[in-house]
Structure 1
Amino acid sequence: MKNHKYTINLEWIGNEGYGTLDYKSYNRNHKITVAKKYDAILGSSDPAFMGDVNRYNPEELFLASIAGCHMLWYLHFCSVHAVLTIQPYF
């Protein structure tokens, strides 16, 4: 079995000058980068936890990773077992 290694950089960019003095003293904004990738992913917590609604939260990214893995596995399964999947043109 092959070994796969993945490395990311997670940078908290939410320090508003008071660090984590208390729960309301900082914002939850962070930036996710991967070497040799063009775009950063701008993240925050869910708005229910004082996050920025315009940024991706960890729960959304977790669901996206599961959905992406499942879709890619299904496409691989179809290609290996001669199941034809056709994307309709609209």
Structure 2
Amino acid sequence: MIMYNIDDVVSYTVPGEPKNKIGTIVELFSDMESYEEMKLQDGIPFYKSKKLKKFVPVKPKNMDTVYLEVKNTKNDGDTEFIYLKDIVSNG
């Protein structure tokens, strides 16, 4: 498992592009409305559970709703949104 956090540089794939890109992780998001507050710790996304009043890992069935905002190190710092599965290594 690749370990990464916010502000880490990572290499990631983009569908339809032959080369991997390199960028800095800026933020973590989810399409789940209940995941209002999130954090990333060593490659594992967490959300703040209202019921438990603490951060808990995102359930495997909801991992496809989680994505990262990445600032590309080239192209004048263009911002892209990628899924966790798109990360291939630490930058």
TM-score, with length taken from structure 2: 0.33
Structure with greater helix share of residues: 1
Q: Bigger radius of gyration, 1 or 2? A: 1
Structure with greater strand share of residues: 2
Highest RCO, 1 vs 2 (Cα 8 Å, sep ≥ 6): 2
TM-score, with length taken from structure 1: 0.33
